[in-house]
Protein backbone atom coordinates (compact mmCIF):
# COMPACT_ATOMS: atom_id res chain seq x y z
CA UNK A 1 0.00 0.00 0.00
CA UNK A 2 1.18 3.56 -0.61
CA UNK A 3 2.39 5.56 2.37
CA UNK A 4 0.83 9.00 2.74
CA UNK A 5 0.45 11.71 5.31
CA UNK A 6 -2.68 12.25 7.37
CA UNK A 7 -3.30 15.41 5.33
CA UNK A 8 -3.02 13.54 2.02
CA UNK A 9 -5.28 10.71 3.19
CA UNK A 10 -7.93 13.17 4.34
CA UNK A 11 -7.78 15.04 1.04
CA UNK A 12 -8.08 11.76 -0.86
CA UNK A 13 -11.16 10.80 1.13
CA UNK A 14 -12.79 14.17 0.46
CA UNK A 15 -11.96 13.95 -3.24
CA UNK A 16 -13.38 10.43 -3.58
CA UNK A 17 -16.65 11.51 -1.99
CA UNK A 18 -16.89 14.59 -4.21
CA UNK A 19 -16.38 12.40 -7.27
CA UNK A 20 -18.95 9.89 -6.02
CA UNK A 21 -21.73 12.34 -5.10
CA UNK A 22 -22.21 15.76 -6.72
CA UNK A 23 -24.15 16.92 -3.66
CA UNK A 24 -20.94 16.94 -1.61
CA UNK A 25 -19.31 20.34 -1.40
CA UNK A 26 -16.77 22.06 0.83
CA UNK A 27 -17.14 25.47 2.42
CA UNK A 28 -15.03 27.53 4.81
CA UNK A 29 -12.50 30.29 5.24
CA UNK A 30 -9.65 30.12 2.69
CA UNK A 31 -10.49 26.58 1.55
CA UNK A 32 -10.39 27.53 -2.14
CA UNK A 33 -7.83 28.26 -4.81
CA UNK A 34 -5.92 31.01 -3.04
CA UNK A 35 -4.97 29.01 0.02
CA UNK A 36 -6.31 25.45 0.13
CA UNK A 37 -7.20 25.60 3.80
CA UNK A 38 -5.20 26.82 6.79
CA UNK A 39 -3.57 23.39 7.04
CA UNK A 40 -3.61 22.73 3.26
CA UNK A 41 -6.09 19.86 3.47
CA UNK A 42 -8.25 21.14 0.58
CA UNK A 43 -5.34 22.24 -1.61
CA UNK A 44 -6.06 21.48 -5.28
CA UNK A 45 -9.73 20.58 -4.82
CA UNK A 46 -11.05 23.96 -6.00
CA UNK A 47 -8.96 23.67 -9.16
CA UNK A 48 -10.49 20.25 -9.84
CA UNK A 49 -14.11 20.82 -8.80
CA UNK A 50 -14.55 24.56 -9.23
CA UNK A 51 -15.57 27.42 -6.96
CA UNK A 52 -19.17 26.22 -6.68
CA UNK A 53 -18.15 23.04 -4.87
CA UNK A 54 -15.19 24.43 -2.93
CA UNK A 55 -16.55 27.69 -1.58
CA UNK A 56 -14.56 30.37 0.20
CA UNK A 57 -16.73 32.01 2.85
CA UNK A 58 -16.62 35.20 4.90
CA UNK A 59 -14.73 35.11 8.19
CA UNK A 60 -17.89 34.27 10.11
CA UNK A 61 -18.14 30.90 11.81
CA UNK A 62 -21.82 31.25 12.67
CA UNK A 63 -22.55 32.03 9.00
CA UNK A 64 -20.57 29.00 7.84
CA UNK A 65 -22.37 26.67 10.24
CA UNK A 66 -25.80 28.18 9.61
CA UNK A 67 -25.47 28.02 5.83
CA UNK A 68 -24.20 24.46 6.07
CA UNK A 69 -27.20 23.41 8.18
CA UNK A 70 -29.54 24.99 5.65
CA UNK A 71 -27.79 23.27 2.75
CA UNK A 72 -27.95 19.92 4.53
CA UNK A 73 -31.67 19.99 5.30
CA UNK A 74 -32.45 20.93 1.69
CA UNK A 75 -30.63 17.97 0.19
CA UNK A 76 -26.94 18.82 -0.07
CA UNK A 77 -24.00 17.14 1.68
CA UNK A 78 -21.90 20.04 2.98
CA UNK A 79 -18.47 19.64 4.55
CA UNK A 80 -17.92 22.86 6.48
CA UNK A 81 -14.44 23.72 7.70
CA UNK A 82 -13.99 25.84 10.81
CA UNK A 83 -10.37 26.97 10.74
CA UNK A 84 -9.74 26.43 14.47
CA UNK A 85 -11.91 24.40 16.82
CA UNK A 86 -11.90 27.14 19.44
CA UNK A 87 -13.93 29.29 17.05
CA UNK A 88 -16.87 26.90 16.99
CA UNK A 89 -17.88 28.85 20.09
CA UNK A 90 -19.14 31.45 17.60
CA UNK A 91 -21.49 28.87 16.06
CA UNK A 92 -22.72 26.96 19.10
CA UNK A 93 -26.38 27.78 18.49
CA UNK A 94 -26.25 26.58 14.89
CA UNK A 95 -24.41 23.39 15.87
CA UNK A 96 -25.87 22.42 19.24
CA UNK A 97 -29.37 23.92 19.13
CA UNK A 98 -30.14 23.52 15.43
CA UNK A 99 -28.13 20.80 13.66
CA UNK A 100 -28.10 18.46 16.66
CA UNK A 101 -31.82 18.73 17.42
CA UNK A 102 -33.63 19.17 14.09
CA UNK A 103 -34.20 15.52 13.25
CA UNK A 104 -35.60 14.85 16.72
CA UNK A 105 -37.74 17.97 16.97
CA UNK A 106 -39.26 17.47 13.52
CA UNK A 107 -40.13 13.85 14.27
CA UNK A 108 -37.73 12.46 11.68
CA UNK A 109 -39.21 14.50 8.82
CA UNK A 110 -35.79 15.96 8.06
CA UNK A 111 -32.17 14.87 8.37
CA UNK A 112 -29.04 16.99 8.70
CA UNK A 113 -26.29 15.23 6.69
CA UNK A 114 -23.64 17.73 7.68
CA UNK A 115 -19.93 17.34 8.45
CA UNK A 116 -18.09 20.06 10.35
CA UNK A 117 -14.33 19.65 10.17
CA UNK A 118 -12.10 21.51 12.59
CA UNK A 119 -8.77 21.36 14.40
CA UNK A 120 -7.98 21.03 18.10
CA UNK A 121 -4.84 20.87 20.21
CA UNK A 122 -1.72 22.80 21.07
CA UNK A 123 1.92 22.52 20.10
CA UNK A 124 2.05 25.45 17.67
CA UNK A 125 2.53 28.26 20.23
CA UNK A 126 -0.54 30.13 19.04
CA UNK A 127 -2.06 30.75 22.48
CA UNK A 128 -5.39 30.08 24.14
CA UNK A 129 -7.78 31.13 21.36
CA UNK A 130 -6.31 28.66 18.86
CA UNK A 131 -5.01 25.71 20.90
CA UNK A 132 -7.79 24.21 23.02
CA UNK A 133 -9.24 20.70 23.01
CA UNK A 134 -13.01 21.09 23.43
CA UNK A 135 -14.35 17.75 22.23
CA UNK A 136 -16.15 17.02 25.52
CA UNK A 137 -18.51 19.96 24.92
CA UNK A 138 -19.92 18.23 21.85
CA UNK A 139 -19.91 14.77 23.40
CA UNK A 140 -22.41 16.27 25.87
CA UNK A 141 -24.81 17.28 23.07
CA UNK A 142 -27.26 14.54 21.98
CA UNK A 143 -27.71 14.38 18.22
CA UNK A 144 -24.09 14.92 17.22
CA UNK A 145 -21.69 12.19 16.15
CA UNK A 146 -18.01 12.79 16.87
CA UNK A 147 -15.00 11.43 15.00
CA UNK A 148 -11.47 11.87 16.39
CA UNK A 149 -9.11 10.21 13.88
CA UNK A 150 -5.46 10.16 14.90
CA UNK A 151 -3.93 8.23 11.99
CA UNK A 152 -3.86 8.54 8.21
CA UNK A 153 -5.61 5.21 7.57
CA UNK A 154 -8.41 6.14 9.93
CA UNK A 155 -8.96 9.68 8.71
CA UNK A 156 -9.66 8.59 5.14
CA UNK A 157 -12.12 5.86 6.09
CA UNK A 158 -13.87 7.97 8.70
CA UNK A 159 -14.33 11.09 6.56
CA UNK A 160 -16.05 8.98 3.92
CA UNK A 161 -18.33 7.42 6.53
CA UNK A 162 -19.06 10.86 8.01
CA UNK A 163 -20.08 12.36 4.66
CA UNK A 164 -22.50 9.51 3.98
CA UNK A 165 -24.10 9.67 7.43
CA UNK A 166 -27.58 11.25 7.55
CA UNK A 167 -26.74 12.87 10.90
CA UNK A 168 -24.50 15.84 11.76
CA UNK A 169 -20.91 14.75 12.38
CA UNK A 170 -18.28 16.78 14.21
CA UNK A 171 -15.02 15.71 12.57
CA UNK A 172 -12.13 16.71 14.81
CA UNK A 173 -8.47 16.69 13.79
CA UNK A 174 -5.21 17.63 15.55
CA UNK A 175 -2.70 20.16 14.29
CA UNK A 176 0.35 18.01 14.92
CA UNK A 177 -0.75 14.84 13.13
CA UNK A 178 -1.18 16.25 9.61
CA UNK A 179 2.36 15.27 8.61
CA UNK A 180 2.40 11.84 10.24
CA UNK A 181 2.51 9.00 7.73
CA UNK A 182 0.93 5.58 7.45
CA UNK A 183 0.05 3.01 4.80
CA UNK A 184 -3.30 3.91 3.23
CA UNK A 185 -5.06 1.83 0.54
CA UNK A 186 -5.76 3.54 -2.76
CA UNK A 187 -8.99 1.62 -3.13
CA UNK A 188 -12.18 2.73 -1.41
CA UNK A 189 -12.85 1.65 2.16
CA UNK A 190 -15.10 2.86 4.97
CA UNK A 191 -14.52 2.67 8.71
CA UNK A 192 -17.72 2.20 10.73
CA UNK A 193 -18.34 4.62 13.56
CA UNK A 194 -18.14 3.08 17.02
CA UNK A 195 -15.24 0.70 16.34
CA UNK A 196 -12.05 1.43 18.27
CA UNK A 197 -8.59 0.55 16.99
CA UNK A 198 -6.20 -1.43 19.19
CA UNK A 199 -2.76 -0.23 18.15
CA UNK A 200 -0.86 -2.50 20.50
CA UNK A 201 -2.02 -5.45 22.56
CA UNK A 202 -0.87 -5.86 26.13
CA UNK A 203 -1.62 -7.61 29.41
CA UNK A 204 -0.59 -5.29 32.25
CA UNK A 205 -2.22 -1.89 31.66
CA UNK A 206 -4.75 -0.43 29.21
CA UNK A 207 -4.03 3.07 27.90
CA UNK A 208 -6.98 4.79 26.18
CA UNK A 209 -6.32 8.10 24.47
CA UNK A 210 -7.16 10.42 21.59
CA UNK A 211 -5.37 12.40 18.88
CA UNK A 212 -1.66 13.06 19.46
CA UNK A 213 -1.83 11.27 22.81
CA UNK A 214 -2.34 7.96 21.01
CA UNK A 215 0.97 8.45 19.22
CA UNK A 216 2.65 9.27 22.52
CA UNK A 217 1.05 6.27 24.24
CA UNK A 218 2.38 3.94 21.54
CA UNK A 219 5.88 5.35 22.04
CA UNK A 220 5.53 4.81 25.80
CA UNK A 221 4.32 1.24 25.26
CA UNK A 222 7.33 0.51 23.06
CA UNK A 223 9.68 1.89 25.70
CA UNK A 224 8.04 0.12 28.64
CA UNK A 225 8.12 -3.18 26.76
CA UNK A 226 11.90 -3.06 27.16
CA UNK A 227 11.30 -3.00 30.92
CA UNK A 228 8.95 -5.97 30.79
CA UNK A 229 5.75 -3.94 31.08
CA UNK A 230 3.02 -4.92 28.62
CA UNK A 231 0.76 -1.98 27.64
CA UNK A 232 -2.39 -2.20 25.53
CA UNK A 233 -3.10 1.01 23.56
CA UNK A 234 -6.66 1.81 22.43
CA UNK A 235 -7.69 4.60 20.07
CA UNK A 236 -11.50 5.10 20.14
CA UNK A 237 -11.55 6.72 16.65
CA UNK A 238 -15.06 8.01 17.43
CA UNK A 239 -16.37 9.38 20.72
CA UNK A 240 -20.03 9.23 19.62
CA UNK A 241 -20.84 6.43 19.09
CA UNK A 242 -18.28 5.09 21.59
CA UNK A 243 -16.86 1.59 21.42
CA UNK A 244 -17.39 0.54 25.03
CA UNK A 245 -17.05 -3.16 24.22
CA UNK A 246 -13.38 -2.95 23.20
CA UNK A 247 -12.55 -0.74 26.17
CA UNK A 248 -14.29 -2.92 28.76
CA UNK A 249 -12.86 -6.15 27.37
CA UNK A 250 -9.38 -4.65 27.57
CA UNK A 251 -9.87 -3.47 31.16
CA UNK A 252 -11.17 -6.91 32.15
CA UNK A 253 -7.98 -8.38 30.70
CA UNK A 254 -5.44 -5.95 32.19
CA UNK A 255 -7.21 -4.82 35.35
CA UNK A 256 -5.72 -1.35 35.03
CA UNK A 257 -6.61 1.76 33.05
CA UNK A 258 -4.82 5.00 32.19
CA UNK A 259 -6.78 7.65 30.26
CA UNK A 260 -4.83 10.26 28.28
CA UNK A 261 -6.11 13.30 26.40
CA UNK A 262 -4.93 16.85 25.80
CA UNK A 263 -8.08 18.35 27.31
CA UNK A 264 -8.04 20.28 30.56
CA UNK A 265 -8.90 17.76 33.26
CA UNK A 266 -12.20 18.92 34.73
CA UNK A 267 -15.13 17.64 32.66
CA UNK A 268 -12.89 16.04 30.04
CA UNK A 269 -13.88 13.00 27.99
CA UNK A 270 -11.60 11.03 30.30
CA UNK A 271 -14.07 11.68 33.14
CA UNK A 272 -16.89 10.08 31.14
CA UNK A 273 -14.75 7.08 30.19
CA UNK A 274 -13.68 6.62 33.81
CA UNK A 275 -17.32 6.71 34.90
CA UNK A 276 -18.28 4.08 32.31
CA UNK A 277 -15.56 1.72 33.51
CA UNK A 278 -16.44 2.39 37.15
CA UNK A 279 -20.07 1.50 36.45
CA UNK A 280 -19.57 -1.47 34.15
CA UNK A 281 -16.19 -3.04 34.96
CA UNK A 282 -15.45 -2.12 38.57
CA UNK A 283 -15.06 -5.72 39.71
CA UNK A 284 -12.23 -6.26 37.23
CA UNK A 285 -10.14 -3.27 38.33
CA UNK A 286 -7.01 -4.07 40.33
CA UNK A 287 -6.01 -0.43 40.78
CA UNK A 288 -7.59 3.03 40.63
CA UNK A 289 -8.19 4.55 37.19
CA UNK A 290 -5.59 7.23 36.44
CA UNK A 291 -6.25 10.25 34.21
CA UNK A 292 -3.53 12.20 32.43
CA UNK A 293 -4.78 15.56 31.16
CA UNK A 294 -3.67 19.14 30.77
CA UNK A 295 -4.03 21.36 33.87
CA UNK A 296 -7.14 23.48 34.37
CA UNK A 297 -5.69 26.67 32.92
CA UNK A 298 -5.92 28.44 29.56
CA UNK A 299 -3.39 27.14 27.04
CA UNK A 300 -0.24 29.25 27.49
CA UNK A 301 1.44 31.07 24.60
CA UNK A 302 4.99 30.65 25.93
CA UNK A 303 6.66 27.66 24.23
CA UNK A 304 8.15 26.52 27.55
CA UNK A 305 4.85 26.77 29.38
CA UNK A 306 2.91 25.13 26.56
CA UNK A 307 5.38 22.25 26.56
CA UNK A 308 4.69 21.81 30.27
CA UNK A 309 0.92 22.14 29.74
CA UNK A 310 0.58 19.34 27.14
CA UNK A 311 0.91 15.78 28.53
CA UNK A 312 4.13 14.11 27.41
CA UNK A 313 5.57 10.61 27.34
CA UNK A 314 7.13 10.96 30.79
CA UNK A 315 3.79 11.72 32.41
CA UNK A 316 2.11 8.83 30.61
CA UNK A 317 4.86 6.40 31.62
CA UNK A 318 4.72 7.64 35.23
CA UNK A 319 0.95 7.10 35.28
CA UNK A 320 1.33 3.54 33.98
CA UNK A 321 3.97 2.67 36.55
CA UNK A 322 1.99 4.26 39.36
CA UNK A 323 -0.71 1.55 39.19
CA UNK A 324 1.50 -1.49 38.62
Catalytic residues: 130
- Rounded to an integer, what distance in angstroms lies between the CA atom of residue 207 and that of residue 122? 21
CB 77 within 8 A of CB 25: yes
241 prior amide bond cis, ω within 30: yes
Burial class, 11, CB count within 10 angstroms (exposed 0-12 / middle 13-18 / buried 19+): buried
- Rounded to an integer, what distance in angstroms lies between the CA atom of residue 34 and that of residue 64? 18
- Rounded to an integer, what distance in angstroms lies between the CA atom of residue 263 and that of residue 296? 9
Torsion angle (degrees, nearest 10) of CA 305, 306, 312, 314: 0
CB 112 within 8 A of CB 68: no
Amino acid sequence: MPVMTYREALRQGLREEMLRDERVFIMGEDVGKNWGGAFKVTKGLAEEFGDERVRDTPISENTIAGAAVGAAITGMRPVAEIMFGDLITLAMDQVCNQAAKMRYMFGGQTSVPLVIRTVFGGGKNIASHHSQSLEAWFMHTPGLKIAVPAFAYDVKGLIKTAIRDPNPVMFFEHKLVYDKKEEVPDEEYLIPFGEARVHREGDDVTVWGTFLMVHKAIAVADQLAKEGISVEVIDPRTLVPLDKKTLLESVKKTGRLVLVTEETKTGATTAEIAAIVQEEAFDWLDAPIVRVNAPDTPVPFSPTLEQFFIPDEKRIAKAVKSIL
